[in-house]
Amino acid sequence: MAELLKNLYNKEYMTLLANTIETEFISFDSDNFLQSIFFDNWQNLELKQRMRHISTTLGEYLPKDYSKAINILQNVFKKMNNAYALENMIFQDFVEVYGLEKFDISINALGVFTVGSSSEFAIRTFILKYPQEAMEKMLLYAKSDNEHLRRLASEGSRPRLPWAISLPLFKKEPQRVLEILEILKDDESAYVRKSIANNLNDISKDNPELVKEIASSWIGESKNRDMLLKHGCRTLLKQSDRETLELFGYSKPDFINILNFQYSTEVEMGEALNFSFNIVSEKKLGKLRVEYAIYFLRKNQQRNKKVFKISEFDSQEKEKRFLKSYSFKPISTRVYYRGLQKLSIIINGIVFKEVEFTLF
């Protein structure tokens, strides 16, 4: 079993942190600090709870003057190994907890802390409280020579960043975000471009027509930009949006058929649904996007559709065979319910085959 992320905050890291703070703040009480961190309920705290416990405990042992405390932490952060990128997000959390009323000091500190780590979560609190000032700073970050700051401009302004507070203003009206994306759409860094794609995908969930307009106007300038757009439109593609499919060259596949379709009519809980089929055509197959969807039975006896990509290709062949499986082993992100489920095969947004199977 993989190590739990919360266990990254272990005695090794916390001791390193305490010792490094001592080099910048000689009166720091490392022993009592560490005792306060590893209190009786420590083992029961999850990742974000541990992060918040550490940052608030730091507030008890650092100077009460926020500007002095943040200056110490910036110096400490620069000495910490970049290998601790996730663990080092306690620095940003400290800013979120103690610095919300000190915009200028805090926003600059988040710029320091994002290099080699990420301030994407903490900065959102400042965007909510200071939308105008914070987005002006993000525009400056978008023009920075440092890719970490450029990425922060995009990642921190995502309307629906996972595991973070949402930004309702940008769900409704993402124009300020689009100003940043326009600057960064051809960024030389793949790290930044991936964030731009994720931001576009977020926007597409609330403003699909706007993202389709952007994709239409941006496409065709470079390979990198086209890849960014395709990743940014992935939700629209999975929704079989016809305009989006056509934009990326996936026309209606009127010339193909599915043959030799085989599948498991019954699947035992914990085992796999296996299925296979051939795609055939009288001429070349051409550019195809092949997906499958499972309509999972829910507790309320309704079905929840989830689309999975099988393959994308541009083939000169007239026939291709596909073998695929989906495991019903228990996972933390989805609960399976016994009963009748549905499987469909989708090609370029068109459902070609639809069958039911029983999970028992």
Q: Report the distance separating Cα 91 and Cα 109, nearest Å.
A: 9
User: What are the tens digits of pLDDT across the range 29-46?
Assistant: 999 999 999 999 999 999
Please choose, from the candidates 319, 309, 315, 317, the residue with its C-alpha nearest in 3D space to the C-alpha of residue 347. Answer: 309
The mean pLDDT of 189-197, rounded to a whole number, is 97
pLDDT at 86: 87
- Residue 158 confidence (pLDDT) above 70: yes
CA angle, residues 117, 187, 122, in degrees to nearest 5: 30
Q: Report the distance separating Cα 135 and Cα 56, nearest Å.
A: 27
- Residue 152 confidence (pLDDT) above 70: yes
What is the rounded radius of gyration, in angstroms, for the C-alpha atoms of the chain?
25
Please choose, from the candidates 155, 149, 88, the residue with its C-alpha nearest in 3D space to the C-alpha of residue 124. Answer: 155
Check: pTM over 0.85? Answer yes or no: yes
CB 155 within 8 A of CB 161: yes
User: What are the tens digits of pLDDT across the range 241-277?
Assistant: 999 999 999 999 989 999 999 999 999 999 999 999 9
Please choose, from the candidates 239, 299, 250, 308, the residue with its C-alpha nearest in 3D space to the C-alpha of residue 275. Answer: 308
Question: Phi and psi of 68, rounded to 5°?
Answer: -70, -45
83 pLDDT band, cuts 50/70/90, is confident
Could you give the domains of the chain?
5-247 (1.25.40.290), 256-359 (2.60.40.10)
